[in-house]
Structure 1
Amino acid sequence: GAELQFDDAGVDAELCLLGTEEPTSHVEARKEPSWRRAMEEELDSIRGNDTWQLVDLPSGQKPISLKWVYKLKKDPSGAIVKHKARLVAKGYVQREGVDFDEVFAPVARMETVRLLIAVAALEGWRLHHMDVKSAFLNGELQEEVFVRQPPGYEEDGNEHKVLKLNKALYGLRQAPRAWYAKLHATLLTLGSERCPLEHAVYMRSKGGSRPLVGVYVDDLVITGASQVEIDSFKEQMKNLFKMSDLGLLSYYLGIEVAQTANGITLSQAGYAQKILEKVGMAECNPSQVPMEPRLKLVKTDQDKKVDSTQYRSIVGSLRYLVNTRPDLAYSVGVVSRFMEAPTVNHMAAAKQILRYIRGTIHLGCHYGRKEEEEPRLVGYSDSDHAGDLDDRKSTSGVLYFLGTNPVTWVSQKQKVVATSSCEAEYIAAAITACQGIWLSWLLGELMNKEQQKKLMKREQHKVLIKVDNKSAIALCKNSVHHDRSKHIDVRYHFIRECVEEGRVTVEHVRTGDQLADILTKPLARVKFLELRERIGLRA
């Protein structure tokens, strides 16, 4: 067996790590019992999985080096849950066509995860969470790959030999694809079928009552009507893989999930707190709105430039927070436009968002139980007109609810310049229709297909899009104002086809009830707080 090779490397005893710090090398890590134990567990897992075999390096082959990566696993409160040591291959030296071919592997979109949660909340189902231990080690390689022996764990007398991989290691370019192929084949043998619209979602077979499974790399979210079937599925998975049954879903991809009798709430309070601490604003004065009304930012700002790396780090962190905070979508979208050369004005706008987060840190999306017979998919479509002062493009706002539960939201600058408010609203409505059609198809796959098809034929169960511009609605339904609309890009006439075929229904809504307004412009405090409440955000 392998034996630990101690190497002083001139490191003083004073540099021994405490259990609350992450080491930077295996030399430091092996001095702390917690990290040494974590490394040995990782190696035991690899050996037990028949991942590699010790061989002489064939001529013409170049071995890939390995390194140790250390991570402290913490819960939302910051308490240490686990010391994690991962042996990772330096995959960046791999050559396409030699060491790997295909690398793509699907993961569930956040919209899909939210739709799955919304369906579970409406039906009163419980969400369960399972994690595959060392998932990538299960992926079977198609290529010949050789790696060096783990640093600090070279075998006595065979230091010159290398390891030939039978299965994937973390860091290899093809590792995610190999793992997904293995998991996909396993789920099919268990009687699940893959959703054709979302390849990271698996559902019960026709006529069965198997659970719905959402896959994000090694995290499995499981839900369904039958607890017996869910328990059976869990046992089957445990027999095939080394699994951690984490019970009811409570923490997923940095998102805190609270399941109660009244529904399910998603928030990112812990993640938001980390952002504030990282930028030194944990004790800042809170703000009531994320962006001041009528604020206009431009790229040609002549003010002093700020550190672009820090600015990008802040904005990148904020973008992930938008996954549970539609109230931030517009303001974060605006500050994302100035990544290249940010100035003090742009940084001030980003810090205003952070001050708003400081006062609303526990805010999140709530998904309630079903009140009506069959919840309908309802979308809100809105747009400003030429709001970007640099290129005069408009901003589209798309917001979809399943019943009263928000499932997807988008605030993005349009691809073309709209010459009128009618055109801007029409383009936004076309984008909304595309999203609505996909959501309705995915919902039909997740639920009983035949029942969903019957419901979709009824007028009250078609995708409903609410628009507050009557001219845009007229343009959706009829080829009116031809002389003023003939220049509109052909792709945006997709919504007219959807309306004619009866796949969507477009309805007028007064501006005061246009919930997507929060995604297209900075609003005054009273209006902003009212819409925030109405779209389902609560602490």
Structure 2
Amino acid sequence: SAGPQDLCMLSAEEPSNLVEARKEACWCRAMDEEINSIVESETWIMVDPPKDQKPIGLKWVYKIKKDPSGAIVKHKARLVAKGYVQRQGIDYEEVYAPVARLETVRLLVALAAQEEWQVHHMDVKSAFLNGELCEDVYVIQPPGYEKEGQEHRVLKLKKALYGLKQAPRAWNIKLDESLLSLGFARCPLEHGVYVKCSRGARLIVGVYVDDLIITGSSRDEIAKFKDQMMELFKMSDLGLLSYYLGIEVAQTTEGITICQASYAEKILDKAGMSECNPSQVPMEPKIKLRKSTKDQKVDSTYFRSLVGSLRYLVNTRPDLAFSVGMVSRFMEEPTVHHMNAIRQILRYLRGTINYGCHYRKGVEGEPRLLGYSDSDLAGDIEDRKSTSGTVFFLGSNLVTWASQKQKVIAISSCEAEYIAAATAACQAIWLSRLLAGLQEKEEQVVKLKVDNKSAISLCKNPVLHDRSKHIDIRYHFIRDCVETGKITVEHVSTGDQLADLLTKPLPRVKFIELRERIGIRS
């Protein structure tokens, strides 16, 4: 027969309030653990209520933690402050805290695969409780844990609580100070990344709030860093990186793969398309989407929810970047026609659910940055703006990509390609500088491949002729990059233009060929 704990583990429902939570032993234990953690951190002191300040309310938030397969790992109860009542300038000042971009995380993974390093993962328990507050903040006593006979008193916070506006910044300041004290240097181009060189070994740490990605050339240095962090904070050592922000990571002898199969399954389930017939392309080549149609309107909230979910999926699926970007343009008044386009994407997703980026290990020679830049011409039939597509590789490993509608109307294919190349140049310079900082080497000259010879001539030719004199000065940034030797621009045939995947819907055979060549596979 199942005991109370077993019944609780079988239940996948999260309680909505304290009364419901107290009916199950697992949630009572979770709340006790949270209170004990807060008390051990000396987060607050009990005081009489201030006359000039109203205390902030507290509430319990309950969450079931699951692994990628959907199995219940933990029941988590979090005591959260009702930070929405805080007023800027009185209860808090600055709230911003930097986190590592996901494209930076992909660069770290690609670098680790190239160098045959392991990637480790650590998590800070109750991270925000470590952040020290500069302001006077008062909260009520925790619901269900009021001190008997002192119910009228309030708690003055010494450290941050989840839900406070300034909590992320307070924690980031504390973590930053700790990492700098351990000999790390913060990367000036990415404030969520820290680098340390010790005894010839290089250690790199990527920070996303309370999640730490650790990689480097010495396993002993990684183990030493873990021990140091465990002395400073309450940490969970999660071993080799396997699951991060909804991204599944597999580290094998052949390389590292990242995908979002479980997340993709949730999207299909949410759309009621888990058993739909798969499609081989995410968007039909001849499709024309318009804003002003006489088609029946659909629920815009539901449409936006699906688009938002798919946009997060693009972090490991560049083959979806163009099609998801296209449907994102119609979120204001979506129609049945636009919803059918999303269903086509979901049908494609159903057939490629386990696809993701593969990073090969130990490629010979120093990894070089290589970019591809492409553009269609006036592909948007509403405003006749073009779509830029860029992809960048470290060696043979894909690290970053983008599919964006241009902000101006190009009147020639040369101009559209030139604007796309200028956008790619900005990304190339950032990647080159970031990689130089991680490797502690000089910046690389980035090779950028473009399939339009006129655009290449425009990049190299400082003379403004009739066809280019109207182009905004900001797009001539690429000329300076070429002149100073930061970027070299080369011609590539249209058939070998890998960024073509990000600019327009392609026929099935061409789409599958390019998808394979950029490193997206099951």
> Smaller-chain TM-score range?
over 0.9
Task: Choose which of 50, 70, 74 in structure 2 pairs with 1:82.
Answer: 74
Superposed, 1:118-197 pairs within 5 Å as 118-197=110-189
Number of the residue aligned with 2:361: 369
> Is 1:21 equivalent to 2:13 in the alignment?
yes
Query: TM-score scaled to structure 1, two decimals?
Result: 0.94
Quote the residue 1:103 is aligned against: 95
1:72-471 equivalent positions in 2, closer than 5 A:
72-205=64-197, 208-449=200-441, 452-453=442-443, 456=444, 462-471=445-454
Contact 1:474 1:480 in 2 (8 A): no
2:511 counterpart of 1:537:
no
8 A contact 1:136–1:176 mirrored in 2: yes
Alignment of 1:502-513 (within 5 A): 502-513=485-496
Q: Is the 8 A contact 1:146 1:162 kept in 2?
A: yes
Shift in Å, 1:448: 2.7
Q: Deviations over 1:426-456 (max 9, x none)?
A: 000000010000000000000032xx34xx3
Runs of 5+ consecutive residues of structure 1 not aligned to the other structure:
1-15, 457-461
In the alignment, which residue of structure 1 is the partner of 2:465? 482
- Partners of 1:25 and 1:496 in 2: CA distance: 60
Q: Which amino acid aligns with 2:272?
A: G
Q: Which residue of 1 aligns with 2:5?
A: none
Between the aligned partners of 1:479 and 1:194, the Cα distance in structure 2 is 38
Structure 1 residue aligned with 2:481: 498
Match of 1:5?
none
Q: What is residue 6 of structure 1 aligned with on the other side?
A: none
Provide the C-alpha distance between the structure 2 equivalents of 1:144 and 1:257, rounded to a whole number of angstroms. Answer: 42
- Give the whole-Å Cα distance in 2 for the aligned partners of 1:197 and 1:62: 41
Query: Counterparts of 1:484 and 1:524 in 2: how far apart (Å)?
Result: 32
Alignment CA distance shift 1:47-1:507 (3 Å): same
State the number of aligned residues: 515
Moved over 6 A (4+): none
Code of the residue aligned with 1:253 in structure 2: it is L
Structure 1 position 327, deviation (Å)? 0.1
SS of 2:286's partner is coil
Structure 1 CA distance for aligned equivalents of residues 413 and 13 of structure 2 = 55
1-side partners of 2:317 and 2:431: how far apart?
20
> 1:19 deviation in Å?
3.2
Map 1:42-61 onto structure 2 (within 5 A). Answer: 42-61=34-53
SS of the residue corresponding to residue 415 of structure 1 reads coil
Partner SS, residue 464 of structure 1? strand
Per mean C-alpha deviation after superposition, the further-off stretch among 203-212 and 470-479 is: 203-212
Partner of 2:455: 472
Q: Is the 8 A contact 2:9 2:72 kept in 1?
A: no
The alpha carbon displacement at 1:480 in A equals 4.7
Cα distance change on mapping 1:362 and 1:18 into 2, 3 Å: closer
Counterpart position of 1:519:
502
Are the aligned partners of 2:265 and 2:353 in contact in 1 as well (CA < 8 Å)? yes
Tell me the distance in 1 between the aligned counterparts of 2:467 and 2:497.
Answer: 26
Distance 1:384 1:444 in 2: 32
| Separation in 2, partners of 1:249, 1:26 | 35
Which piece of structure 1 moves more, 325-334 or 366-375? 366-375
Please give the alpha-carbon distance, in whole angstroms, between the structure 1 residues aligned to 2:202 and 2:424. 32
1:53 deviation in Å? Answer: 1.0
Q: Secondary structure at the match of 2:201?
A: coil
| Per-residue Cα deviation, 1:292-333 (whole angstroms, up to 9, x for no partner) | 002110111221000000000000000000000000000000
Q: 1:491 aligns to what SS in structure 2?
A: helix
Amino acid at match of 1:421: S
In 2, are the aligned partners of 1:64 and 1:91 still within 8 Å (CA)?
yes
User: What is the deviation of 1:521?
Assistant: 0.2
Aligned residue identity for 1:502: G
Q: Which residue of 2 aligns with 1:12?
A: none
Distance 1:64 1:368 in 2: 51
Residue 528 (structure 1) aligned with residue 520 (structure 2) = no
Partner secondary structure for residue 425 of structure 2: helix
Question: For the aligned residues, what is the CA RMSD?
Answer: 1.2
- Shift of the alpha carbon at 1:150? 1.0
Per-residue deviation, 1:205: 3.9
Match of 2:60 among 59, 65, 68: 68
- Greater CA deviation, 204-213 or 106-115? 204-213
C-alpha displacement of 1:370: 3.0
Q: Give the Cα separation in 2 of the matches to 1:157 and 1:422.
A: 78
State the shift of 1:153 in Å. 1.3
Shift of 1:20: 1.8
| Contact 1:192–1:203 (8 Å) recurs in 2 | yes
Structure 2: stretches of 5+ with no match in the other structure: 1-7
State the distance in 2 between where 1:23 and 1:56 align. 32
Tell me the distance in 1 between the aligned counterparts of 2:377 and 2:464.
19
Deviations 1:61-105 (A, max 9, x none): 111001111111001110000001111001010000000000000
- After TM superposition, give the deviation of residue 206 of structure 1 in Å: 7.3
Amino acid of the residue matched to residue 268 of structure 1?
Answer: Q
Contact 1:18/1:32 (<8 A) preserved: no
The offset of 1:371, in angstroms, is 2.2
For structure 1, which segment, 475-484 or 297-306, has the greater mean C-alpha deviation from structure 2 after superposition? 475-484
Contact 1:17–1:23 (CA under 8 A) maintained in structure 2: no
Q: When the two structures are superposed, what TM-score results if normalisation uses the length of structure 2?
A: 0.97
Residue 481 of structure 1 and its aligned partner are, at CA, apart by: 5.8
SS in 1 for 2:504: coil
